[in-house]
Amino acid sequence: AQSVSQHNHHVILSEAASLELGCNYSYGGTVNLFWYVQYPGQHLQLLLKYFSGDPLVKGIKGFEAEFIKSKFSFNLRKPSVQWSDTAEYFCAAHGSSNTGKLIFGQGTTLQVKP
Amino acid sequence: SAVISQKPSRDICQRGTSLTIQCQVDSQVTMMFWYRQQPGQSLTLIATANQGSEATYESGFVIDKFPISRPNLTFSTLTVSNMSPEDSSIYLCSASLTGPEQYFGPGTRLTVT
């Protein structure tokens, strides 16, 4: 079955610390991958996406993610987090046979302490 | 990108009643979707709203409980019927343009008492 798994449910970091959030997917065939962010009281926003090509993709606000096909992973990274990065982060996947459907991971709550 | 609005933003409803949630997109989109996000949990797809035909429901969701309309390329409604406290959740509308990425509305926070 198609699935997306996020390893960390709750992460607490101090400002300026580096961030890496894990995401693994289980899909057959071609897959498109996404990271979404939900800031407190706001709606889901697209952070970055991977379709093909360079496996290292850069998104908004200094975030990047690396697609590693051999590990079925799409981890999110940021070298130095800020208090304003406190949010819920969701990894999602879309397979070519899904007719548009996104499968979401469980989400990771990131709390950045000032 | 697409800008999506939802109405109402929140509501408190009594058990046994129904609520219709509206979703409006600022441009014509190919696909629209309805999700449920229960407290502290991830998003679960309820159905894909198809323009001009019946919605496609995911396993565990049925048309009698969650009827969906999509009369045109910019608008859709989701009705939560015969509500129970278990239906308390955030209901999200999303849309995709030409690619697979989806844009989300602000959500409707529903509390059933």
- Check A99 against B45: CB less than 8 A apart: no
pLDDT in tens, chain B (113 residues): 889 999 999 999 999 999 999 999 999 998 899 999 987 788 999 999 988 888 999 999 999 999 999 999 999 999 999 999 999 999 999 999 887 889 999 999 999 99
CA distance B83 to chain A (A): 24
Nearest C-alpha neighbor of A93 from the set A20, A39, A34: A34
- Check A105 against B42: CB less than 8 A apart: yes
Size of interface A-B (CB pairs under 8 A): 48
In chain B, which among 45-64 make CB contacts under 8 A with chain A? 45, 48, 56
Using CA coordinates, name the residue in chain A closest to B1. Answer: A46
Nearest C-alpha neighbor of A105 from the set A94, A93, A91: A91
Whether A99 shows a pLDDT value over 70: the answer reads no
Q: CA-based angle A96:A97:A102, to the nearest 5?
A: 75
Structure token pair of residue B61: 């969701």
Q: Give CA–CA dist B11/B1, Å, rounded.
A: 28
Q: Could you tell me the pLDDT band of residue A85, with boundaries at 50, 70 and 90? A: very high
Q: What confidence tens digit (pLDDT) does each residue in B30-62 have?
A: 889 999 998 778 899 999 998 888 899 999 999
Q: What confidence tens digit (pLDDT) does each residue in A42-80 have?
A: 889 999 999 999 999 999 999 999 999 999 999 999 999
Collapsed DSSP state (helix, strand, coil) of residue B56: strand
Nearest C-alpha neighbor of A61 from the set A31, A86, A93, A43: A86
